[in-house]
Structures are given as structure tokens and as C-alpha cells.
Structure 1
């Protein structure tokens, strides 16, 4: 069982518009509604890949009710912590005239101390018997930056492997207990406070976090350039599969889903990351945060090149202070 945790879910609304500009009303069409937020995306994608998964989330108000209904419709088992505040919405507009995409993301409801405690209790109970817990997405207002560390402590106590995909304070305040960390280059840059222009600098930053005991394995997503897999003593570069993108929203979550599903099937780390890249590639072909088809993931998996082992990466990896 894979258990996902989404502290700040969103009702993802994706629409098309001919042109986006100021003042005038923007007439939208082709609206799509999805249960969104990092962990919920991972849960939906993992289920599409045939893995047993359960989602833990917060939900409040009519939007929260709609979110849970969408999960039920997608046959994703879920446990929600009811909030006094309203679940947020995220709004994506695809501008047809230019191909540009505009994304509007709200902060989410403020969680009280009691609601935060209830979240930890539900996560603890839901993690029982799980092989992996995936904590993904931003933390909502009012939640302390070390909240993901508290989840890491729960997983360590239960000897469950934690996969973490977050940014900002939620990432910067992780000190230990993560099995696999999946930052983007931007998130890694913000975490270590360095530009990380070159591949060597990116590897060094990832290895620095491993040396500190933050995580055992780090997968750095490079967007259109693929990914880096970094462990304590080895590193690999993974090339992408070039496809025209319909929407990049949720591609990182699809990568996480593919990796975790691969690991849950006891695949090696390199094979799991290749599966993650195939899932992200399939996700690029769907609108908004809509789910892909497993057949497409399997087809793209055949096109993901074998990774390149980076010789000498270890020699340059301890340069960060």
C-alpha cells in the first residue's frame, strides 16, 4: 500500500481562453475539474498505474466536499480531516492564441492547532502497514514549517519509507528521516541557497543533503532536461523523452507516482526512476492535471534511454560548506 498525504489540496480548474489580458472579460471554455494538490495527484496517478493507494487529505467547505467526491468518482480510497476553513482552488488558463499557460494558485485555509494535531493522528493511523508514505505539496497557512519533519518522525517510528516532494520552508526544515527526496532544481537551489548553475553543483547540493542525513536518495527533476539520481556514493543522469506538451501541470507528481510504484514492485532505483520519467511524459500529453493512461506510460517507458553513470561525481560532491 502507498499512502499519500496532501496537507493543502486544491480543486484544480483548467480552462481554455483565446487570449488573456487586462480589464476585459476573459471568456473561458473546455473547463476541466480535478482533485489536485501534490499528494492527491500522486494518488490518482499511482492508481492509474495499478498500484494500491490510499489518500489522506484535509477538506473544508463546499469545495472540500467536491474534492472528496472527485476522489470517490476516481475510485481513490481516502481519509479526510474536516476543516473549518474552505479548501482552496487553483486555476489554470491555456491561452490558445499563443500556447502560453497561466496558473493562479490560492494559499489555502488556515489550520488551527487542533486541526494540525488531528492531521498527525490520522496520518499515523493511516500509515499502519504501508510500504511507502508520500508527502507532497505545499503546507497551508498556520502550519509550522517543520510539519513534514513530524511526518518523517512518524514514518521512522513505524519503519516506513517516506517520499517527500515539497518546497520552501517545508523543505528547508527537514533534518532527517526521508527515504527519497524529489526536488526540482529551483527547489534545491532555494534549499541550499546557491545558484547551482552546473550539473556538478547540482550533484554537490544533493550529496550535501544526503551527507547531513536529510535523505537517503535524491532525485532532482530537471524539467525538459530529464533528471538526476543521487545516492551516497553514486549518481546517474536520465535523459527525457521529447514530446509536445499539452500541459506541464502535475508532471512532477506523475514522476513521483511512477518512481514510488516502481519501488513498491521491488524494482531497482534506476528502473523506478525510468518509470517515473515515462509517467511524467504521459502526463504532459493530458490537459490540466487529468490522469494519463497506463498504456501510454508503458509505451514511453520503452523510449526512456538507459541512464548515464556520472564518473567522478563523488569527487566533486563535498564542496558545499
Structure 2
């Protein structure tokens, strides 16, 4: 299997709690469910491992919380490499309310990196990527990170055989649109801001993917549409991937996007075509939202749900004629 490197520039130590019902007065007595290292790329690496693959998680780590993060990842057996920074890694927490079935993910901004730390991150990514077939950059970035950081990574890696998979937001995403990478995943919020309309169905998701592909920013694009599923698009066609009907009410979407990217990249690394990998990713996301807090799918659940994923293919030229 091809080697996968994930990058988490702004990781977390995620503590998950459960309460019967949140109240605004007095104390909310909680049951602690789990404490684990988190952040986009770390979660993606965890998903790859859950499916039987292997990934190296490259991440920043600072001070006391950073040491706790390293210890948690070591205890989990996750293959990871730390990039030392001078400020504390951030803490985050998830509160699951059993009465409503809703979860609330509280995430602070995180530490600000110095110029020297930013350069250290860039050097570490470029060095590690030399030995990998897939580079996944996922999750938020630290405040103050220069807006073209991810774009610079893409420029510096273009001449190599490493395929870049991105799940990023804000100015990092907007600057990457001037480059070309293998695959970009849009969530509904980022896609809506880019095309100036809500992503309320498959048609709007197709428009978001068209925007990416027409710019030449990516060879493959996938935009998620909540419980409906996602649209995966390449140069030739749009593929509307309908998510399986959930056997249980959803509980938390905290790691749904990371589950999609982790499962998708794993399937690409073992040789699946991109459409099949995206279908498997949609099933993984569907399996994850059934679980509380930052829990991720089981492989058995994904293998069951993927049989209920349905795809409709529309030629991009046909879709363009229908809109005109």
C-alpha cells in the first residue's frame, strides 16, 4: 500500500463528556467518555488505521498540553511525528446531551506560531512528503499563519509524485485555488462562501465542484451535502453519491469530514479508483455520525453501509446544458 502522510498544524487534546441534559443554572454533572489526541490530520490517520492501513501523522506539539498529546498518541499506537512549538497545544471538548441526542464541540483558536516555527513546519512537511504517495492536509490552522502556507506546500511538492489531498478552509483554501492539487474536499459552508449560494442539494454541490475544476485548482473535487451525501466530480462527470439511510438518529458530526477523507485516502492508497474511494468515504462519514463525541466508525459498520450507497452519474457537459 502507498504511504500516507497527514499534517495537523493545529491539533487538540479532545475531552468528550456526556450529560443527561444541559442546564443554564447550577452545575452540569458530566460523565467523561474519552480523552484523545485530535485535529484533522490526526483523525484522518486514525481512520486509516481503523481500516487496516497505516499513516504517519505529522503535527505541532507545544509545552504541557503538547506532551499530553504526544503521550495519548503513543498510548494509542498511532505513528506520529511532532514539530516542536513554544506555546501550548490547544485543549478542546465535546459535550453530548443524551436528552436531545445533540453534541457540542467547543474548540479554541489555538497557539500562534512564530516565523521560525512556521518555517520548521514547512521544512518538516517537505522532508516527510518525499517518502509518501499521499499527503493529506486537514483541519484548521493556527491563528496568524501566513495565508499562503498551504499554497506554498503545494507549489514546492508539484514536481514530485506525491498526491495532495486537502480539507482546509478560509484564506488557506482561497490561496490554494491558484495552484493545482490532486483532490479538494469542500464542506457546505466553504462551498457556499465560494459560489455565493447555499449548498442545499446536489445541484449546488455540482456548481461548487465545477468552480474548482474550471479554475484548475484540483483534478478531483468532492463537496459534502450533509445527510444527503456528497458530489464527487472529475473532468468528465459529476457523481451524486447518496448516503445510506441511517439506522439510528445521528449523534455527532465532529469527525464526519475526517472520516470521509481518511477512508477515501485509504482506498486510493490500496488502488481503488477515485469514485469507489469517495463512495467508501461517504459510508465512513455516515457510520461516524451515529457515534457520540469524537468517536469514529468501525470497519464492519462502513462495510455494511457502503452496500447501501447509491451513485448517479451526470456528464459535466450534460449538466451544463441543463443549467443554460
TM-score (structure 1 length as normaliser): 0.93
Match status 1:316 vs 2:323: no
Report if the CA contact (8 A) 1:162-1:177 is conserved: no
Given the alignment, which residue of 298, 302, 306 partners 1:297?
A: 302
Report if the CA contact (8 A) 1:236-1:310 is conserved: yes
Paired residue secondary structure (2:186): coil
Given the alignment, which residue of 215, 224, 228 partners 1:225?
A: 228
State the Cα distance separating 1:149 from its structure 2 match.
0.7
Cα deviation 1:229-272 (Å, max 9, x = unaligned): 11122101011112222322101100101111111111111111
Report if the CA contact (8 A) 1:133-1:155 is conserved: no
Report if the CA contact (8 A) 1:204-1:317 is conserved: no
State the Cα distance separating 1:204 from its structure 2 match.
2.2
Residue matched to 2:267: 262
State the Cα distance separating 1:187 from its structure 2 match.
1.3
TM-score (structure 2 length as normaliser): 0.92
State the Cα distance separating 1:171 from its structure 2 match.
1.1
Moved over 6 A (4+): 317-320
Cα deviation 1:187-236 (Å, max 9, x = unaligned): 11123334455533431232122111111110111110001011122101
| Number of residue pairs the alignment of both structures matches | 319
- Which stretch shifts more, 176-185 or 40-49? 176-185
State the Cα distance separating 1:2 from its structure 2 match.
0.4
Distance in 2 separating the partners of 1:317 and 1:61: 56
Distance in 1 separating the partners of 2:299 and 2:14: 22
Match status 1:237 vs 2:256: no
Q: Which runs of 5+ in 2 are unaligned?
A: none
Distance in 2 separating the partners of 1:9 and 1:148: 16
Distance in 1 separating the partners of 2:321 and 2:207: 4
Residue matched to 2:210: 207
Given the alignment, which residue of 259, 279, 287 partners 1:274?
A: 279
Q: Which runs of 5+ in 1 are unaligned?
A: none
Residue matched to 1:125: 127
Report if the CA contact (8 A) 1:184-1:222 is conserved: yes
Residues 295/195 of structure 1: CA separation in 2 closer, same or farther (3 Å cut): closer
